[in-house]
Amino acid sequence: MRRRRFLQAAGGASALGLAGCLVQDEGSTSTTPPTDDATTSGDGATSTTSETTTEASPDRSGTVRVATYESFLNAPSESYDAPGKFVKERFEEEYPDATVEYTVPSNGLNEYIQRRKQGASVDADVYVGLNVDDLVRIDENLGSKRLFQTLDLDRMERASHVREELGFGDPKGRALAYDTGYISLVYDERDVDAPETLDDLTTSPYKSKLLAQTAQGTDTGQAFLLWTIAEKGADGYLDYWEDLLENDVKVLGSWWDSYKAYLDDQRPMVVSYSTDQVYANRDGQNMAKHQVGFPNDQGYANPEGMGVVQGSDEVDLAYAFMDFVLRGDVQQTIALSNVQFPAVEDEHVDLPTEFSDYAYRPENPVSLGYDELKGNLSGWVEDWSRLVASN
């Protein structure tokens, strides 16, 4: 969810334009050097001595270094409040002997991967903003070297509050969701009807109606591609996209490019987020132009996760921080700031009507997990790119 990044780049052009955030990892150095996995269990999961625990009480004093994305710390527009300041202040109130120190990597996850490849360590304890494709990319690049620990969820009181459907399917269990967005269609009901199925988008009523994004480097574009793969299969998705292209779907280079074109009335439908009406309501927009469509009653779930960096010197504080992020008031603040859904079940968070009345979850969320993406994701995107480039 990199929408805020585009708003910042656009100079705050329209507050309606942006919101949800996807973390980019931070790189630095830790006092504990990175190590290859020391032990491999029968299911392929690994452990190292840095992950062992003792009977001693957890140490909640010291500094926990949290790597995150820029808009978690600095709101790109006066219309929004970044959640980072709230999280830091409340955590330090709860743990008066602890300090939160944020850091934002210059090159996101790639910075971490390169440091590990070079045998360097990472100056962070917690990483906020992992997607499942990030975990796949880590393993494709680092092999047996660990960037994140296997999580011990017994060390977190609130881990059981996270929605079951927001799991990453990671066999190493390295990430736990803290929010999620759903990729959907946003449409102007004055110009076009909501498609009942994905196949409807290939028919004449939707010819030259849809704006989408490239699957290379955009969350929404990749998620929409994976949604079509989940529906049509690895052997059928290119045929489906051939039909979409023949029906004149317009693929642009970023979410902001396509959404701005939508706001400029270039086309009446765009691949976007199911929280779109939250923005429209805040900005006093005409809701007729901000209807949310779920073809097949589906939307693609894009959870963001957090994990403990391998080699952290502050593992106790790292777990305390992640557990704190799942607290109800913190989940509410992150949801309202990022305009994403909380990761926890509804009973654990109380959202105001400005969010609950205008944010929609699909009846049947769709997502592809780690096992489905591993060894396939880059090839799917490359094949899709060649098809789009040839049309």
Q: What is the pLDDT of residue 70?
A: 87
Flag whether 206 is in a domain: yes
* Low-confidence stretches of the chain (pLDDT beneath 70): 1-56, 76-80
CA distances from 294 to 207, 217, 275 (A): 18, 23, 12
- pLDDT, one tens digit per residue, over 34-60 is 444 433 333 333 344 344 444 567 878
Regarding whether 288 and 141 lie in a shared domain, the answer is no
Regarding whether 317 and 188 lie in a shared domain, the answer is no
The reply to whether the predicted model has a pTM over 0.85 is no
Flag whether 244 is in a domain: yes
Regarding whether 333 and 201 lie in a shared domain, the answer is no
363/257 Cα distance (integer angstroms): 29
DSSP assignment string, 55-102: SSPP---EEEEEE--HHHHS-SSTT---SHHHHHHHHHHHSTTEEEEE
Regarding whether 249 and 233 lie in a shared domain, the answer is yes
Regarding whether 294 and 270 lie in a shared domain, the answer is yes
Regarding whether 376 and 244 lie in a shared domain, the answer is yes
122/140 Cα distance (integer angstroms): 19
Q: What is the pLDDT of residue 60?
A: 87
